[in-house]
Amino acid sequence: MILREVYEDKEEQLLNQFATRSKSSKGRKQEEEKCDIRTEFQRDRDRILHCKAFRRLKHKTQVFIAPEGDHYRTRLTHTLEVAQIARTISRALGLNEDLTEAIALGHDLGHTPFGHSGEQALNEITKMGFRHNEQSVRVVEQIEKKGAGLNLTYEVIDGILNHPTSNQPHTLEGQVVRISDKIAYINHDIDDAVRGKVLDLGRLPEEPVKVLGDTSRERINNMIHNLIIHSLDQNKITMSDAYSMALKEIRQYMFKNVYIGSKAKEQEKKAKDLIKSLFFYYHENWEAMPDEYTSLIIKHQEPIERVVCDYIAGMTDTFAINAYCRLKLPRPWDIY
């Protein structure tokens, strides 16, 4: 018995009419023999979970740069929260949980050190621009496994690429991750901002709080329920107008009061200067990068600027700081 085929048959029977069946996947760029145990999307989830870029997320900033305390979110904990919310929604709607989870686990693999500050720095300094969603695709297609990539399915790549607010994934599973990302980061960023004494819960905008709830737990629970109710048997993932507006308003409030110009971002300029300094150094001394990156330049004729961005984006916060100190700060002479 081929267990994969049993799972594929279950998908045909249990998933709703608009769900993405693994058996109907558009496939991979390089054809592979199918696994006898796992579906295509299960394989993608496992490949992402075991890749190096995923492990590095635990040492990358979410919002607070170099926070003191063990309970602030990192890029990894954010990713896990997105995956949990997205799976709950997908299960309730009869969508493909494996595809949803694979997209969620991979959506931020290309994020830089120091969160969006690092992303902005690279975007400002490079002619080709830098966007973390596009970098996430580059990670899984061209950087992981020493340049071989993970060879993921079209549907997972599409969901990763199109998870930002301004984009629209082609699958309902991708749409679920797209909105789960917002549900997760808005609420856990409020939680972290309150913990860091950057935000007073009593000053959150009154009308959105009335609609969504007083606590993170209430807001997440209410948004998930609202989303499920308004997306059941629909070929689109959506909330009610009232909830969509409330989420938009509270997101705008967070940008104004936390993401830009608050105590949480007081180290932002230093972080951006550090990233830019590393970029200039490695652009002039690209041979100093590890072989897996220099080979992209030598063997694959990739632009130096692009590969330097690859290397810096892959760094953790601590690695970037140590690299800067090693390259830019004087050290005592070794007299022995």
What is the reported pLDDT for 252?
92
Instruction: Name 61's bridge partners.
Output: 74
What is the reported pLDDT for 336?
47
If we measure between CA atoms, which residue out of 29, 44, 125, 45 comes closest to residue 83? Answer: 45
Q: Residue 52: in which H helix or E strand, if any? A: helix 52-56
CB under 8 Å to 307, separation ≥6 — which residues? 286, 289, 293, 294, 296, 297
Using CB atoms within 10 Å of the CB of residue 222, give its burial: 0 to 12 exposed, 13 to 18 middle, 19+ buried.
middle
Question: pTM value?
Answer: 0.94
What is the reported pLDDT for 265?
63
Would you give the distance in Å from CA 26 to the centre of its chain?
23
What is the reported pLDDT for 67?
59
What is the reported pLDDT for 334?
59
Residue 198 and residue 3: Cα distance in Å, rounded?
A: 51
**Domains and their CATH numbers in the chain:** 40-266 (1.10.3210.10)
CB under 8 Å to 63, separation ≥6 — which residues? 73, 115, 189, 192, 193, 258, 259, 264
What is the reported pLDDT for 193?
86
Contact 44, 153 (CB under 8 A): yes
- b vs e for 132-160, b when ≥16 Cβ sit within 10 Å of the residue's Cβ? bbebbbbbbbbbbeeeebbbbbebbbbbb
Residue 219 and residue 232: Cα distance in Å, rounded?
A: 20
Q: Express each pLDDT in 15-68 by its tens digit.
A: 999 999 999 999 999 999 999 999 999 999 999 999 999 999 999 988 766 556
The stretches in the chain having pLDDT less than 50 are 336
What is the reported pLDDT for 263?
63
Contact 306, 294 (CB under 8 A): no
CB under 8 Å to 120, separation ≥6 — which residues? 272
Contact 333, 322 (CB under 8 A): no
Here the contacts of 160-163 (C-beta below 8 Å, separation 24 or greater) are 160/103, 160/106, 160/107, 160/109, 160/133, 160/136, 161/133, 161/134, 161/136, 161/137, 162/133, 163/103, 163/107, 163/133
Residue 146 and residue 144: Cα distance in Å, rounded?
A: 5
What is the reported pLDDT for 66?
57
Q: What 3-state class would DSSP assign to 74?
A: strand
